Amino acid sequence: MPYVIAGPCVDVMDKSCTEECPVDCIYEGDRKLYINPKECIDCGACEPVCPVEAISQDRRVPEEEGAHVADNRGFFESVLPDHDAPLGAPGGAHKLGPVGVDTPMVAGL
């Protein structure tokens, strides 16, 4: 997974990153944004515009935020609450709209 959104995004969701993303791969949960690892092209356009510095490459996520790497992937690969199937790669966040739920990890924060 090229880029990950970590804990500083929880309950902030500034969404500046969504405006910069050229492939529309940043999806909106209830309390946090998530980058789709299958749709991200690793361009890095989202990272410098995040006002809370929540975005980084997966290998550069601070150790204390490391759980967000797998959790970000899980948002797309696991069945979320109130959903029948994983999101997978729906082809664009704006097309799908807000998902409205988070992973159990983020929901429990």
Domains and CATH numbers, the chain: 3-93 (3.30.70.20)
Cβ-count burial of 30 within 10 angstroms (0-12 exposed, 13-18 middle, 19+ buried)? middle
Which value, in Å, is the radius of gyration of the alpha carbons in the chain? 12
The structure's pTM equals 0.94
Per-residue pLDDT of the chain (109 residues; tens, 9 = 90+): 589 999 999 999 999 999 999 999 999 999 999 999 999 999 999 999 999 999 999 899 999 999 999 999 999 999 999 899 999 999 999 999 999 999 999 999 8
Reported as a single tens digit per residue, the pLDDT across 31-62 is: 999 999 999 999 999 999 999 999 999 899 99
